[in-house]
Chains A and B, each alone.
Chain A
Amino acid sequence: MSDTHQGGAVATSAPPSVDEGLAPAELAAKYGLAVSGARPGLFEYVRELWSRRHFILAFSSAKLTAQYSQAKLGQVWQVATPLLNALVYYLIFGLILDAGQGMTKEVYIPFLVTGIFVFTFTQSSVMAGVRAISGNLGLVRALHFPRASLPISFSLQQLQQLLFSMIVLVAIILSFGSYPSLRWLLVIPALFLHFVFNVGLAMIVARLGSKTPDLAQLMPFIMRTWMYASGVMFSIPVMLADKPAWIADILMYNPAAVYMDLIRYALIDGYGAQNLPDHVWMTALAWALAVGAGGFVYFWKAEERYGRG
C-alpha cells in the first residue's frame, strides 16, 4: 500500500472512478482490508493474549485491591476473611457435627481448612467466570483485547486471594504440629495444575454465562453440591465405607477432590499417601490439560460474538 502524503491539490469530492462498479467485498480485497472484529487463528490468539499479559496482571490485582478499598481495615481483610471462614467451618463441622471421623484433631483441622481454601479457589473462579463477560459487557463493547483476558484475569485474582489465605493456612498447620519439610514444595506443582484447571473451567462458564446470564443464579447451588460431594469437610473413604466402592472412587477422582488431597498431602504431616487415590498426579495433570486446553479452545471459538451479549 502506497503511503503518499496528502498534498494540497488533492481532489476530495469525487469517488474514485477506477474502482467504480466494484462490489464492496471486491473493493475490500483490492485494498487489503480485513473483516473488522474477525476471530484470529488459535496461535495468533495465543500470541495476542501473551502480548496483553501486563494488562491481565494489572486488571486482576486492581480488582483485588478495589475489593477492600472502602473498608477501614483495608487490605487486612485479605487475610481476615479466610480466617473467619475457617473459624465458622471449624465451629460447625469440627465441634458441632464432629465430621472428622477417622482423623485426630491435629490432622482434621488442617484438613478442613486446607479443603475450604482450596475449594474456595475453584468456587470463586467459577463464580467470577460466569460473570466475566456478561458482567463486563461495557468493557467488551468499548475496547479491543482478546476476551480470554477477562476469565484468566479473574482466576488470577482468585489465585492471589488464595496466596493470602495460605498465610492463614500455614499458621494453622504449624500450630497443629505439622512442620515445613521438602514435601511442602509439592504445593507448587499442585497449585499450578489446579490453577490451569480453574482457568479452563472459568473460560467454559464465561462463554456459557455470556449467552445465558441466568447461570449466575444457578451456579451457587451447583458449586455447593460439588463442595459437599468432594469431601471438603470429611474423608470420602471413611464416610462412604458402607456404600459400593465405585461411588467413593468417582468422588475421589473428581478434580476438586484430587487437587484438595494433593495439597493436604503436601502440607499435613499426618495425612499420608495412603489417603490419596492411585495415579493421583496423572489424574491431576489429565484434568488440568483436558479442562485447561479444552476450555481455552471452547472460549476462543466464540471470540467474535462476545460483544453481542
Chain B
Amino acid sequence: MADPNPSNVPTVICDDVHIVYRVNTGGGGKGSATAALSRIVGRGKAEVNRGVRKVHAVRGVTFTAYRGEAIGLIGSNGSGKSTLLRAVAGLLPTESGKVFTDGQPSLLGVNAALMNDLTGERNVILGGLAMGMSREEVRERYEGIVDFSGINEKGDFISLPMRTYSSGMGARLRFAIAAAKNHDVLLIDEALATGDRKFQIRSEERIRELRKEAGTVFLVSHSNKSIRDTCDRVLWLEKGQLLMDGPTDEVLKAYERETAR
C-alpha cells in the first residue's frame, strides 16, 4: 500500500491550518469600572465586549512533509513559526483545517516540567517521566544524562537545587534531559546550542544524532547558518501565511534579499 520510495511517504500533512489565540486582556479598551460593569452585564454579546482579543497567528498554511526531510521554518518574529510547530505537535488546537501526522511528533524541550526548587537529580527523573519515558528507561539513561550535561564536572552539583545553578549550567541540564529521548517526528524550536563553546559542540553533535534517528525534522531558527547546515527544505512564514516553500538555497536567497532591504 505504501510507496516503496521512503522519501515519498508523507509524515506530516497540514491542510489549510488556521490558529487563533484568545487573549484575556483583563479589561478590553476602556479601563473604567463602568466599562467593566457593562461588559459583565453584556455577557451574551460578542467576545470583544469581554476583554478578550483574538490573535490570528496562523492563516491557512498547507504543506506536506515527507520521511527523511529536514525542514526549516523561517520568518520574522511573530510570524507564527512556533505556533505552527505546536499545532503539528498536537499541543495547540487548530481553529479550522487539520494537521495529520504519522505517530506522535514531539517538541524538543522539557523546561516547563522542571522545578527550580528541586535538585538536579529529581529534575532528571521528573523530566524523563514527563516526556513519557518509563521508570526503567529513566533509570537506564540517568547516568548518560548527567554525564552529557557535564553538571558534575565541577563538583557534586546534581544533588543541589536547580535554582543554585548558573544560567549556563541550568540550560545544559535542560538540554541534556530533553535530548535523551528519540523521536519519530522531531520539532526543534530555536536556541539549540546553549552553554559554553565545548557544550555547544557536544549539543550540535547530539542534534545531528537525533536527526538521523528521527523520520522528519522541523527546525525553527533565526540563524540562516544553522538552517543551511541542517535543512534541505525551507518554509518561509510571514504574518501567519506561507510565503514560500522550496529548497533551502532558493528560499533563503529570497529571504535574505527581503531582510536586507
Which A residues have a C-beta under 8 Å from some C-beta of B?
1-2, 4-6, 10-13, 15-16, 18-19, 23-25, 27-28, 30-38, 52, 54-55, 58-59, 62-63, 65-66, 69-70, 136, 138-145, 213, 304-305, 307-309
Contact = CB atoms under 8 A, between A and B. Distances in A.
Nearest to B99: A36
B13 A37 contact: no
Interface stretch (B89-97, B146-154, B221-229): B89-97
Contact of A25 (B3, B15, B86, B92): B15
Most buried by A among B102, B109, B110: B102
B239 interface: no
Given A18-B3, A54-B135, A59-B130, A28 B13 contact: yes
Interface in B152-174: 161
B38 interface: no
B68 interface: yes
A308 B22 contact: yes
B21 interface: yes
Interface string B82-114: 000011111111000011111011110111110
Given A66-B117, A145-B132, A16 B8 contact: yes
A63 B126 CA distance: 11
Given A36-B101, A37-B89, A38-B90, A6 B132 contact: no
Contact of A36 (B68, B89, B116): B89
Most buried by B among A24, A25, A142: A142
Contact of A143 (B3, B21, B131): B131
B10 A13 contact: no
A143 B99 contact: no
B191 interface: no
B91 A34 contact: no
B68 A37 contact: no
Contacts of A136: 112
B64 A27 contact: yes
Most buried by A among B1, B10, B106, B110: B10
Nearest to A11: B7
A143 B101 CA distance: 16
10 contacts: A10-B5, A11-B7, A12-B69, A28-B10, A28-B15, A33-B13, A54-B134, A58-B125, A65-B122, A142-B110
B207 interface: no
**Chain A to chain B: the 7 pairs with minimum beta-carbon distance, closest first:** A37-B90, A28-B100, A24-B15, A36-B90, A16-B8, A66-B117, A33-B100
A257 B8 CA distance: 64
A16 B6 CA distance: 10
Interface of B is mostly: mixed
Given A25-B100, A69-B161, 4 more contacts: A28-B100, A54-B134, A66-B117, A144-B89
B203 interface: no
B137 to A, nearest CB: 11
B93 A37 contact: yes
B100 A34 contact: yes
Contact of B87 (A36, A54, A145): A36
Contact of A62 (B107, B109, B122): B122
Contacts of A16: 3, 5, 8, 66
A2 B68 CA distance: 14
Contacts of B109: 142
A62 B121 CA distance: 12
B91 A33 contact: no
B134 to A, nearest CB: 7
Given A12-B232, A36-B87, A6 B64 contact: no
A58 B133 CA distance: 13
Contact of A142 (B1, B91, B101, B116): B91
